[in-house]
Structure 1
């Protein structure tokens, strides 16, 4: 075990503090109503909600994965933050003014009201629930591998400890426990990442030296303006990735929208996102800097290309902490506490939001719960959170048996599923002409197309790392050479001096398969969004568009509603009235008023026609 006494004390205090917050709000809200349990009575303050929103998406996988990305592939992914900020502003300016005044608990109630379709609402909820439960298992497994190296506990024990802790405080304390535990955990996460940045850069000579080392080893790249969609990363691809990732996470996902639904006004809800944007950029910058610090340390003795090592960049964080932070008592414990905090915050967010969906979208309408008191319903919701936590632990244990290959598939599939949901909501908000047939067809078709694309991308070889070196390793590593089959003879050669660069992957025509599978994964959500919108428009054009009487005005973006009222169909009718029939165009309401006035007036007192046209028109009547 790599933890000393002080490390164990810090880690234990961190986990106990999160549990204590849950116990406090659980005791305080024993008789809380469903609204208080799920949304804090819609009276929560923006800043703690923003911190909760920030750490709810920055998981332990983000800490390890993004740092590893900077190490192995360079800083281009950092530009993803530009897309994140742009999308957060759009969600604040467009989505919140429409969604928040509806006073919803479940975001997908909007889908039912906009398209007048119960089944489409439930389809979106089922998609979210399946993704959420699997995501919990995904969140539990990778960090447990890292924690095994630090704590000495087996993976099963780490999964169980994390799962039980966040399940208990989420179940007993409700959204307030989750939010305020997230506030504490955000501070722990920042401190843990800062430990790497400060200690590592100090040992090397400062952040300027770290930056210089990375620059001269081709890690610093921000303005790759190449428009090629087949490259892994570029400025445009990363901005698109960040933009659609944020729309999918903060705009159309219950786990995050539930945070700003917990405020009392539209303005407060918008400030939740503005605060979250600032916090997100800061925390992600620290994580990215930690990856550069780690590269500066390993630049001449890379652990990824060592024999029998796992060629996954996220593992370099663990190796760095074991080598460097263990030299100072307490720092390793602080980092491990940050990993625990990141896992706890992400899972508790999922548990709370999935319970809200289960109750609002499926259970609330059942006759058996019709006469239940609010306190009794609140108790049921606690049971649902607990059951979801137990299921998440089971899924985490199941994922641990599948290995790292499963993680790549899950990343691809989750990214593929967010695009259709974004497309459905953008269609609902901006295209009031689209009817239920168009929306549901576009949603279903885009899911299948995006999944097909995601599974096809999994057949492609992994992108090679930037150059890595083992020139200055103290002990030369044996080179393992294996002959071609069927002899399968292995020879071990130990050199006196050895240089290892990043493995260059040679891709044959058979491996490339269909060119569409080689498109950058950054575009997956964009394709899903476009598939959904285009198919929805085409099907609506065939089956007949909505009219203003079919849609509630408050469910549509204001400028789209103005265009909707002056649609092409209505303008064509008006043109026909004025230019062909030579009659003034009047609204339905005005016409009804005039007809009622004619019915109530005495025919003998009708005004004398002034011209020939009036006589002919009255004769026609």
Structure 2
């Protein structure tokens, strides 16, 4: 059961996947307009078709995080998180039906251009840009150390070396090929990801029958889909998973990486298709990864060996790569294929993020202050920002490695602080035509402060989330039945009978029961009596993003009302949702504004006509003529 090293065939397969990405970047650096203009480099001249955009959207926001994190969540907490596909479908439907028709016609390059146009404020745009950069760079930093973690845990290859290799590869092909190279490498990497996951699942199903896998997961209480507990401190419930996923996927679409792809298509119809066509592939991917998590749990449950408790892996985030090496290392090339799958997922996210950062720095920071740059000079500037951003993200990835918790928890927690308030500001502008710039800034900052406090607090005071009955360790190689379980581990008695039977089987097998002498049995409400963590820090990480959105919206609307915003002029129709444009109160106020605007134009033209007539009559007077003659005499 000891992990094996990679063979030369595995390295060849893995290296080939990296070379393909580099080749795509080189190809697009020499084709078409050779990425000489900013429009081509950042937006692909807005002529990319919907299907590659759809796949690019998928791999950008799924990446190695879901590949390593989702199976671990299922291993410890069950399959409730799979219902995130319901929220994903709802979220992307909202994006296609309401958000795309607002943003695409504006023909923006930076998504934060909308904020300046909508709120008539440069400050709002800069605040959004800063939060967006935090969102993108944090997400990329978390993603970057994942393949390094996998490589080190299964081969002993240093994390820092693999991090630097991935960063160099992605910087090169992103800098050379622009958004076209990023999108088409995403398509290739999606194929590699599917091949790696399917290979591992087929290998597992060849050893264990699917019905057996399903039965074992059900007997051990891992199959949980309808937990309707309203308690927000419960780690995974139907409400937390679905509602949290809805706002998260709306946030993904409203990020620079999402809008940059959506607006790179030819029309609104193509943009909508790119969002909708993403859903079948995303549901398939989530289903395969979920089944992989069930298979991993079943395998180690039947083997009676919990890797982390036995010390075979240092972190729960290493379970998937360890399992991969156990299953695939016997056949040359298969382990390399799975590593290529993992690295492809990471490359796609990093390249998308680097392209997004390049667009933000150019559109929101450099161009407004240096309009003297030509299109060719702008292309050079945007290329230069790619390696600089890559260096910063590498440094952030080393910091991210020290964060506690599972990959999914780390990602959702760190990203929600910036993404949640941003989604709230966008919805505030699109849903409430009377919302003001001041209300947007104040509400966004307060929403960010709340989410950041929850994220930092949850890391300083980790919540003692109850786990399902874990896998025993007496079946691990080199261990004996006298191995005791670590103390202070809490277990969730989902079904008291099944839990007692679970302990009885262990006793029959001459293993120590899981409930150690001083372990804590969690009561029915899911919270241990000695848990002194503040309530706010015990809220499930799945609610962080929702909290940012709701807080920003509520405060923004309240401030707009309290400061007399309803008496101000509403924004233009093109900046709000289609259904808002049809509201009677909005149309009435809009018609009044149009009448006032037409009257102002008429008065301005009438005054201009009166002034010209007055000037002409004055020139005909004797006083004007005498003055003109005296001025001529002085000259």
**Fold shared, TM-score > 0.5 on shorter chain:** yes
Corresponding position of 1:602: none
Corresponding position of 2:511: 498
Corresponding position of 1:273: 275
Give the alignment of 1:111-510 within 5 angstroms.
Answer: 111-205=115-209, 207-250=210-253, 252-300=254-302, 301-310=304-313, 312-367=315-370, 370-400=371-401, 402=402, 404=404, 411-458=412-459, 459-470=461-472, 471-473=474-476, 475-476=479-480, 479=483, 497-499=510-512, 501=514, 505=520
Q: Does the Cα contact within 8 Å between 2:153 and 2:318 map onto a contact in 1?
A: no
Tell me the secondary structure at the aligned position of residue 297 of structure 1.
Answer: helix
Q: Deviation of residue 524 (structure 1)?
A: 1.5
CA distance in 1, matches of 2:602, 2:372: 50
Corresponding position of 1:30: 34
**1:74-126 deviations in Å (ceiling 9; x for gaps):** 11000011001100000001000000000000011101111101011011101
Query: Which has the larger displacement, 383-392 or 423-432?
Result: 383-392
Q: Deviation of residue 354 (structure 1)?
A: 0.6
Corresponding position of 2:612: none
Q: Does the Cα contact within 8 Å between 1:167 and 1:348 map onto a contact in 2?
A: yes
Q: Does the Cα contact within 8 Å between 1:435 and 1:546 map onto a contact in 2?
A: no
CA distance in 2, matches of 1:11, 1:551: 53
Tell me the secondary structure at the aligned position of residue 582 of structure 2.
Answer: helix
Q: Against the structure 1 CA distance between its residues 410 and 64, is the aligned structure 2 distance closer, same or farther, given a 3 Å change threshold?
A: closer
Provide the TM-score with structure 2 as the length reference: 0.83
Q: Does the Cα contact within 8 Å between 1:303 and 1:316 map onto a contact in 2?
A: no
Q: Deviation of residue 527 (structure 1)?
A: 1.6
Q: Against the structure 1 CA distance between its residues 502 and 33, is the aligned structure 2 distance closer, same or farther, given a 3 Å change threshold?
A: farther
**1:308-361 deviations in Å (ceiling 9; x for gaps):** 355743322122112111122221111011011011111111000010000000
Q: Against the structure 1 CA distance between its residues 318 and 118, is the aligned structure 2 distance closer, same or farther, given a 3 Å change threshold?
A: same
Q: Deviation of residue 274 (structure 1)?
A: 0.8
Q: Against the structure 1 CA distance between its residues 439 and 78, is the aligned structure 2 distance closer, same or farther, given a 3 Å change threshold?
A: same
**1:128-172 deviations in Å (ceiling 9; x for gaps):** 112322332221123211112344421111001100000100001
**1:474-499 deviations in Å (ceiling 9; x for gaps):** 54265369999xxxxxxxxxx99424
CA distance in 2, matches of 1:19, 1:396: 22
Residue from 100, 103, 111 that aligns with 1:99: 103
Tell me the secondary structure at the aligned position of residue 108 of structure 2.
Answer: coil
Q: Does the Cα contact within 8 Å between 2:154 and 2:322 map onto a contact in 1?
A: no
Query: Which has the larger displacement, 432-441 or 462-471?
Result: 462-471
Q: Against the structure 1 CA distance between its residues 154 and 442, is the aligned structure 2 distance closer, same or farther, given a 3 Å change threshold?
A: same
Q: Against the structure 1 CA distance between its residues 478 and 528, is the aligned structure 2 distance closer, same or farther, given a 3 Å change threshold?
A: same
CA distance in 2, matches of 1:424, 1:323: 47
Corresponding position of 2:16: 13
Corresponding position of 1:619: none
Q: Against the structure 1 CA distance between its residues 312 and 76, is the aligned structure 2 distance closer, same or farther, given a 3 Å change threshold?
A: farther
Q: Does the Cα contact within 8 Å between 1:326 and 1:332 map onto a contact in 2?
A: yes
Q: Does 1:524 align with 2:524?
A: no
**1:202-243 deviations in Å (ceiling 9; x for gaps):** 1012x2221121111111111222223231111122101210
CA distance in 1, matches of 2:480, 2:375: 68
Provide the TM-score with structure 1 as the length reference: 0.85
CA distance in 2, matches of 1:97, 1:547: 27
Q: Against the structure 1 CA distance between its residues 589 and 192, is the aligned structure 2 distance closer, same or farther, given a 3 Å change threshold?
A: closer
**Count, aligned residues:** 569
CA distance in 1, matches of 2:135, 2:49: 29
Q: Deviation of residue 43 (structure 1)?
A: 0.3
Q: Against the structure 1 CA distance between its residues 26 and 501, is the aligned structure 2 distance closer, same or farther, given a 3 Å change threshold?
A: farther
Q: Which runs of 5+ in 1 are unaligned?
A: 485-494, 575-585, 597-621
CA distance in 2, matches of 1:63, 1:302: 22
CA distance in 1, matches of 2:587, 2:108: 30
Q: Does the Cα contact within 8 Å between 1:63 and 1:287 map onto a contact in 2?
A: yes
CA distance in 2, matches of 1:567, 1:537: 20
Q: Does the Cα contact within 8 Å between 2:131 and 2:419 map onto a contact in 1?
A: no
Tell me the secondary structure at the aligned position of residue 157 of structure 2.
Answer: coil
Q: Against the structure 1 CA distance between its residues 238 and 63, is the aligned structure 2 distance closer, same or farther, given a 3 Å change threshold?
A: same
Q: Which runs of 5+ in 2 are unaligned?
A: 489-507, 522-526, 605-635
Q: Against the structure 1 CA distance between its residues 592 and 512, is the aligned structure 2 distance closer, same or farther, given a 3 Å change threshold?
A: same
Corresponding position of 2:554: 534
**1:441-481 deviations in Å (ceiling 9; x for gaps):** 21111111222233333314342331123254454265369
Q: Against the structure 1 CA distance between its residues 168 and 569, is the aligned structure 2 distance closer, same or farther, given a 3 Å change threshold?
A: closer
CA distance in 1, matches of 2:172, 2:93: 34
Corresponding position of 1:3: 6
